[in-house]
Amino acid sequence: MTDKEYRRIYANDPQKAQTELFDEYLNYVYAIVYNKLRSCGSREDVEECVGDVFSAVFISYDHNGSFSGDLKGLIGTIANRTAVQRYRKLVRNCNTVYIENETSEIADTECIEENAERSVLKNTLLKLIKSLGEPDSDIIIQKYYYNMNSKEIADKHSMSPESVRMRCSRALKKLKALLADEGYDMKEGNI
């Protein structure tokens, strides 16, 4: 459905326009939301997020604009952003860390050994990060796994960005010492 088609239907019957838009893009939105939330959300979370997406589309849609293209891009962007926000909320509330597995091809035995060593290091690193306790472990995970900046982290933990940076610095020093105790020699900045 193009923007012009939607505007034409909307001018005659707004309810019908919303119903047709919903029917046409439901599967598309559901696929986007499901792919973002499948690792941490329930079916109800996915369905609620899909409803939120369509609500956001209907609320934010400019009925007087001059856009005349396909609505799929707009709806896809809103679906993706809404699903990412819901994912962050669900992960924050369930105190579970989801780190996606790396996918790599195995070429020879050296790759197998390297992958095994990397996997052991990753598991050890995660265990040691968790041992730092709250909120230090959350700060490290959010900063280095989710690439959040100090202000975003500070907002989540009701702290100042300066406090987050200080806690992060201290946590990294503790983590470096813990890694050294485990037999890993980590260079500065190579976490």
CA-nearest of 161, 99, 145 to 153 is 161
Q: Can you give the pLDDT at residue 69?
A: 67
Q: Where in the chain is the domain with CATH 1.10.10.10?
A: 109-181
Task: Quickly state the pLDDT bin for 27 (edges 50, 70, 90).
Answer: very high
Task: Quickly state the pLDDT bin for 191 (edges 50, 70, 90).
Answer: very low
**Residue range 58-70, pLDDT digits in tens:** 887 766 665 566 7
In terms of Cβ atoms closer than 10 Å to its own Cβ (0-12, 13-18, 19+), residue 171 is: buried
Asked if pLDDT for residue 18 goes beyond 50, the answer is: yes
Tell me the CATH number of domain 109-181, given options 3.40.50.1440, 1.10.10.10, 3.30.1490.190, 1.20.120.640. 1.10.10.10
Between 113 and 90, residue with greater pLDDT: 90
End-to-end CA distance of the chain: 48
Are 136 and 171 in contact by the 8 Å Cβ rule? The answer is: yes
Topology (CATH) of 3-94: Rna Polymerase Sigma Factor; Chain: A (1.10.1740)
Query: CB neighbours of 122 closer than 8 A, spacing ≥ 6?
Result: 99
Q: What is the DSSP letter of 2?
A: B
Average pLDDT of the segment spanning 162-176: 87
Query: CB neighbours of 105 closer than 8 A, spacing ≥ 6?
Result: 111
Q: Where in the chain is the domain with CATH 1.10.1740?
A: 3-94
Task: Quickly state the pLDDT bin for 107 (edges 50, 70, 90).
Answer: very low
Secondary structure class of 43 (helix, strand, coil): helix
Asked if pLDDT for residue 145 goes beyond 50, the answer is: yes
Q: Indicate if the alpha-carbon torsion angle 105, 106, 110, 112 is positive or negative.
A: positive
**Helical H segments across the chain, by residue range:** 3-12, 14-37, 43-60, 72-94, 109-131, 136-144, 150-157, 161-181
